[in-house]
Amino acid sequence: MSLGMLNDQSYSPRRVLIIKPSAIGDIVHALPVLPRLKRRWPGAKLSWLVTPGCAGLVQGHPLLDETILFERGRFGHGWYNPAALWDLGGFVWDLFRR
């Protein structure tokens, strides 16, 4: 998405994915973006990709429609483990389908 799209008043996404998986401080600092996104695009589905260990920070947030768990350890060995690479591909495909 380009910054020009964000300034275009006619642009209205159906879905927004926030990707802040595991840095607790970054997640806490990014939480204030949820009301702004919802105010800007009230009809958009808001999802947050996060590791299971940090999921408690965003799960159940009233402005968040979905929390997507990203198990970094499960996918981190894809460069030498074909099964992990296959799992990562399936995870990415699932994100596109959502």
The mean pLDDT value of the chain amounts to: 83
Please report, for residues 35, 41, 50, 82, 94, the alpha-carbon distance to residue 46 in angstroms, rounded to integers and kept in the order given: 10, 10, 13, 32, 16
Instruction: Sort strands 45-50 and 15-19 into parallel, antiparallel or unpaired.
Output: parallel
Q: Mind listing the pLDDT tens digit for each residue in 53-70?
A: 999 999 999 999 999 998
pLDDT value at residue 4: 58
Using the CB atoms, write b or e for 65-79: b if 16+ within 10 Å: eebbebeeeebeeee
φ, ψ at 48 (rounded to 5°):
-130, 125
Mean predicted confidence (pLDDT) in 71-98 = 73
Condensed to tens digits (0 to 9), the pLDDT of residues 15-26 reads 999 988 778 999
Strands (DSSP E) found in the chain: 15-19, 45-50, 66-69
Domains along the chain with CATH numbers:
12-73 (3.40.50.2000)
**What are 24-50's pLDDT values in tens digits?**
999 999 999 999 999 999 999 999 999
Whole-prediction pTM value?
A: 0.76
Phi, psi of 22 (to 5 degrees): -145, -10
Report pLDDT for 16.
93
